[in-house]
Structure 1
Amino acid sequence: MPRGKKRSGRGNVQPFSDEDASIETLSHCSSVSERTSADVDVGDAEETAQEDFQYKLKVYIDSTVDKSAKTRQGALDGLKTAMATKILYEFISERRMTITDSIERCLKKGKGVEQSAAASLACLLCIQLGSGIESEEVFKTLKPVFKAILNDGTANIQARQACATSLGLCTLVAEDDIMDVYATMEVFETLFTRSYIREDGSRPSVSPPVTQLHTNALLSWALLLTICAGSHIRVIAQKHLAKLPRLLENDDVNMRIAAGETIALLFELIRDIDPDFEFDDWEPLCEKLNALATDCNKHRAKTDKRKQRSVFRDVLKAVEEGDFQSETIRFGTERMLIDSWVRKRTYDTFREFVGSGMNFHLQANEFIRDVFELGPPKLIDSAALKAMKSSRLERHLYNAAAFKARTKARNKFRDKRVDVGEF
């Protein structure tokens, strides 16, 4: 807006109105209102980002066979992160056998850390593919390798620990024969039962890393308990329910907690089958659980005692009253209730692998939603999501242009006030 002309020594200046500012703002924003160009820009940006992401994944897959162990490790970690945080079914299903071959090679020829990463990647691959023929093919290739490492006492202990966990989850997702599930459970039993305190009260000599292996085997065994037939649950209860409390005296807090949660799970399962079930050593078991729920031993770390007491209060309620302390998981606009030991064991296992991506998988992963009976995914469809992003871009550009116009207009008004002050 041009400055007012000076007349008779005074500045004849009209104040700058909001209407003037809005006119100038509109002139700056007119180009932003063309929705078509914004849609094209957003679409191109999305397509470019998707192509870049898929290119990175292809590089990771190729790098899993690199001569450098460090490069292979980085590639495995990159694939793990991608599968934990995104749904990649179409991309992965086309390359599943290539990825499976890479995992098998890393498990057989790699060292501890690399083997552990490969085992975790196998689980994420099955989670992405879901329960069906594709994951079954992957698992048929990897199951013998998992079991060979698990049963090899000379194998790297970190690799054995990872295989104990991964074999359990992959069996849950991809095993198509319940008899094979039972056979895998027996493999786990041969491991964790070695930590049982003997009937004469003597303790087995087990190192901390091996104890962790036994703990992982116990948790995988408990996971597979959740899909056993009722008749097999009865057999398991008769065989192990009297012996599992021996693990409660273990020196390792994680083993004690795993044993307590497994006992609570087994009581829940057997009572679902037989509401009148009675356990012969029920009172001694409750006394032991109560002691752990109120543990004040000075030789144990405070954090371990706090964690242990919290868990065993819930375990004691489960054994005494058949109660479960429910928890609500919120993700997006939905909620899921963890209302049983079965659901807790399943949820904790999946969360161990997908980590912070668990909420996203609960929203978008059809297999995981099916496991927790959440129904079809309720994510916004791609067209609506694209429209929303376009709308956000338009708002951003409009606000930026409006801010620029207002600033420019106010600067002119400040110039006029200076002129007024000079006369």
Structure 2
Amino acid sequence: MPRSKKRSSRGGQHGAVQPFSDEDASIETLSHCSSFSDAMSVAEEGGEAGEETAQEDLQYKLKVFIDSTVDKSAKTRQGALDGLKAAMATRILYEFISDRRMTITDSIERCLKKGKGQEQCAAASLACLLCIQLGSGIESEEVFKTLKPIFKNILLDGAANIQARQAVSICLDPVIKMFGLLNSAKKEMSSRCQLFIFSKLNMCKYLYEHTDGSRPSLNPQTTLLHTNALLSWALLLTICTGSQLKAVTHKHLPKLPRLLENDDVNMRIAAGETIALLFELARDMDPEFEYDDWEPLCDKLNSLATDCNKHRAKTDKRKQRSVFRDVLKAVEERNFQTETIRFSTERMTIDSWVRKRTYDAFREFVGSGMNYHLQANEFIRDVFELGPPVLVDAATLKSMKISRFERHLYNAAAFKARTKARNKFRDKRVDVGESDVV
């Protein structure tokens, strides 16, 4: 029986074909695509035939998702977009996507124009993932040129859904950075987009105080929109020319500290990280760079790094103090808290605010698939200067994995050790309490 006829038997009444089920639309359906070890596990179960069957099944689901993006049902379109997002975030699909690039782009455009809220958010994220899959060539540029006017209209439309505006404010910026990093011919375009990002949100409304010295009062959703815009602006600063950076630093660095007083913890953190980034970029251009209000800024950063205000949530304070300790070190001592990212047999060092902002931006879209893309996606590897993908044979991968039984034994031993330690602590606590009573 041909595959198409066999699949049609799933249809509902009158033999109608159901485009996909909720299970197909879920991330779990595509989670088996999350690493290079997939091919090895499939080969173990069924060899090359099993791998070919799995590939056919995946491509069938993706084709159904693409077809379902034009369905009349908003719920069906939403599920299809989410399914495509999950697949692109967890697997390299260049050949499949390249052949259907225009169709997918048209679907994204239609969902952005006619969809509402969550559907627009999903479509915006899918646009970024599509460009990440296609790389830095002409194909991504055509996608960008097609969708940029629509993104601009949504962002500038004050009556548009606030969540859609939030998603749009951060979605294509990694692609702009990609063009700026990997193709010098597009630096001019990237720089114009950077300046556009700053003006399109009318940032003076929330960056700067009113004439009477008060700060604008914004609702949480609008604050989140502005936070995303600030982070996007910070990302695009990393590909600006020296002259542009000097102008931006001179004009905006004195005003950014005002955002450190914002009531929203995420806005305060975004402002702090942007300040650290600007200091890093300015010092890279001029090692003797000096900031006139350096001492007041350090005092403000120090107060945030040691914040004990009772009216703030404990989780917010904990997160804030952790970030601002690093920001303070960056401003005072020019230090950065290095972080190592391990994936397969490789590792990557995050050793600067520029690298951190770039990594965080791409991780926003690929999520748990970031390590896989670092390992296999040539574009992502180019951005982080990792070189060509490293091929790892199945034997090496298998030797790196531990069996489920071994993992169970390790977890059981760890649980037992924790239990003993906690019981010992509880015993001591009881003894102290009884002695106090006596």
TM-score > 0.5, shorter chain as reference:
yes
Which residue in the other structure is 1:272 paired with? 284
Q: Is the 8 A contact 1:42 1:389 kept in 2?
A: no
Equivalenced residues, count? 350
Q: Is the 8 A contact 1:139 1:174 kept in 2?
A: no
Q: Counterparts of 1:112-127 in structure 2 under 5 Å? A: 112-127=117-132
Q: Which residue of 172, 178, 194 corresponds with 1:185? A: 194
Which residue in the other structure is 1:194 paired with? 205
Percent pairwise identity: 75
Q: Which residue of 145, 152, 157 corresponds with 1:152? A: 157
More moved, 255-264 vs 370-379: 370-379
1:76 aligns with 2:81: yes
For structure 1, which runs of at least 5 residues remain unmatched after alignment?
A: 1-37, 392-423
1:166 aligns with 2:180: no
The CA deviation at 1:74 is 0.3
Look up the SS of the partner of 2:292 in the other structure.
Answer: coil
Would the alpha carbon gap of residues 325 and 280 (structure 1) be closer, same or farther in structure 2, given more than 3 Å must change? same
Q: Which residue of 228, 235, 241 corresponds with 1:223? A: 235
Whole-Å Cα distance in 2 between the matches of residues 361 and 112 of structure 1?
28
Which residue in the other structure is 2:266 paired with? 254
Which residue in the other structure is 1:108 paired with? 113
Whole-Å Cα distance in 1 between the matches of residues 44 and 270 of structure 2?
53
Whole-Å Cα distance in 1 between the matches of residues 227 and 167 of structure 2?
11
Q: Which residue of 102, 106, 131 corresponds with 2:136? A: 131
Q: TM-score, normalised by structure 2?
A: 0.77
Which residue in the other structure is 2:7 paired with? none
Q: Is the 8 A contact 1:39 1:390 kept in 2?
A: no
CA deviations on 1:262-320 (whole Å, 9 max, x unpaired) are 00000000100000111111111111111111111111111000000000010011011
For structure 2, which runs of at least 5 residues remain unmatched after alignment?
A: 1-42, 400-438
Q: Is the 8 A contact 1:108 1:145 kept in 2?
A: yes
**Which structure: larger Rg?**
1
Q: TM-score, normalised by structure 1?
A: 0.80
Q: Which residue of 199, 219, 231 corresponds with 1:207? A: 219
Which residue in the other structure is 1:345 paired with? 357
Whole-Å Cα distance in 2 between the matches of residues 388 and 70 of structure 1?
43
CA deviations on 1:324-374 (whole Å, 9 max, x unpaired) are 000011111111100000000000111111111111111100011111111
Q: Is the 8 A contact 1:363 1:379 kept in 2?
A: no
Tell me the amino acid that sits aligned with residue 228 of structure 1: C
The CA deviation at 1:193 is 3.1
Look up the SS of the partner of 1:328 in the other structure.
Answer: strand
How well do the aligned residues superpose, as a CA RMSD in angstroms? Answer: 2.0
Whole-Å Cα distance in 2 between the matches of residues 47 and 122 of structure 1?
28
Look up the SS of the partner of 1:337 in the other structure.
Answer: strand
Tell me the amino acid that sits aligned with residue 205 of structure 2: R
Which residue in the other structure is 2:302 paired with? 290
Look up the SS of the partner of 2:221 in the other structure.
Answer: helix
The CA deviation at 1:389 is 10
Q: Is the 8 A contact 2:341 2:347 kept in 1?
A: yes
Whole-Å Cα distance in 2 between the matches of residues 339 and 39 of structure 1?
39
The CA deviation at 1:201 is 2.4
Tell me the amino acid that sits aligned with residue 89 of structure 2: A
The CA deviation at 1:321 is 1.1
CA deviations on 1:370-399 (whole Å, 9 max, x unpaired) are 11111110133xxx54x99999xxxxxxxx
Which residue in the other structure is 1:366 paired with? 378
Whole-Å Cα distance in 2 between the matches of residues 120 and 284 of structure 1?
39
